[in-house]
Chain A
Amino acid sequence: MLNGNIFKKALNSLEETGILRPGAKPQTPDRLYIKCDACKAMLLADELREHLYVCPKCGAHMRISARDRIHMLFDEGSFQEWDADLLATDFLHFPGYPEKLAEYREKSGEKDGVVTGLASIGGHPCAIFVMDPGFMIGSMGTVIGEKITRVFERAAQQKLPVIGFTVSGGARMQEGTTSLMQMAKVSGAVKRHSDQGGLYIAVLTDPTSGGVTASFAMEADVLMAEPGALIAFAGPRVIEQTIHKKLPAGFQRAEFLLEHGFLDKIVTRDRLRVTLKRLLGYHRQEDGSYGRL
């Protein structure tokens, strides 16, 4: 289904085509070619960027940074970041954690694994959180828990919808049982926002697993995913070790979850903007609020 012209073709005649802005800054500025992990094609970095990091040959949706995604998706200049100054600490004196934090802060340019703030999409204001695959594969610790909790609390106060992008390898072991508690912490804030009538749309991207899947990734009113995204509680390797069997092809991919009733929709990256814009539009009330807030 996916091919070179997915950016021009509407999936059904009722859904208008919405072209996203290509990413501004290259993720790999020093490389001319990038290899697609899925089909092994060598792709021109500039061309790939124009294609929103979706392989023009096979349609594979590559991982992109939180900043790239915000730039591609939300109205130009609309993003105002929240809580950019929160830093994790090594409160359990976990061997190697300070070095790992320093390494990933340097590599990703982020202080932790999620970027949050206020933005708009087609003029609809929303509170957003976008997890970053480049920071310890979005492993969830105290900073991610606190920042996302604040997103839902502020959204409830300011009567805003929440749009969240998840990507996570699971909980941050280096923060011990406190990292586990973040699942309950964020869930509490999601529930309060929801009970006030707030709208929450989640987009699950590759990979979303562990504690994030078992909490806020699965708690949205509308649950979408990018094509081919791995979405799991226990990752494929853990399951193969537990049951001593090879897993069938496509197991735990977005298409599998859709078929089993755990997703509302799979949306290709080029159609995310228009899909979110329309969903927000459906929930907009006469007084300018969203949902029942």
Chain B
Amino acid sequence: MAELNIQELERRFQEKIDNDIRIEPNDWMPERYRQTLIRQISQHAHSEIVGMLPEGNWITRAPNLRRKAVLLAKVQDEAGHGLYLYSATETLGADREETIDDLHSGKAKYSSIFNYPTLSWADMGAVGWLVDGAAIMNQVPLCRCSYGPYARAMVRVCKEESFHQRQGFEIMMKLAAGSEEQKAMAQDALNRFWWPALMMFGPPDADSKHTAQSMAWKIKRNTNDELRQQMVDITVPQAEMIGLTIPDPDLKWNEEKGGYDFGEIDWDEFWNVVKGNGPCNKERVEARRKAKENGEWVREAANAYAAKQKMKKAS
């Protein structure tokens, strides 16, 4: 009997999905759908938070006051994104602190791009332009995700991401039009971030274990390779416009497909970084773990104070 009920519930659930009706927190959903979303949204939240570190690295060294303010505003937005996304996982019954502990223990992943170091000011340009650019491409389709709270969070996030992308491109544009040193700095940043940015869309479709199910549930709307192609097609002309060279000798316009053909991605590097061997994996997780550890007494104090206030009110 119960078995039948579940089948019926699953059928109705899939019917809603097929009719583009949003799933809301109190609606019945298959456990695997819930778990998939918790995994994806918390990974996304962790990426926002870990992503603060490589950019936070340059705030105190920003070259002028305007750039400093823009960078601060951007990194502050990323913290905000992390916050809404952790809240979205809570609507699915996840616990924020436990989710964060999974990041610190290495159980949960975050976007591998943040395991690359930011070595020059131009990296602030490259990160905004390419990394936030790729994030937008990943996230615009998520505004139509079947799970309501995630879709709504993404609408808000995407608006801010496009400001992030623009400020990054603007930094690159300025550098590319600047002195020889500035041009070289910009080109070097592009060289280092180009391939990792393309890896941000995840493994090729053939090797992506979650894609098919996520697409059937309308959590995902496009495959990894589709999005990657879109990224290349949009970014190449932008690089040309400002006079920078994409570090790919195989890059070529393909008239027939109406897009660029591009070189082989080094997936060994990708998996290696995912496994924890990127240049900054250890530092990034360590920084977040320390922040939590050093904040423990602060959180305890806030709780103790709140409890005392509650007692006072009650008496």
A associates with B: no
B residues with CB within 8 A of A = none
A residues with CB within 8 A of B = none
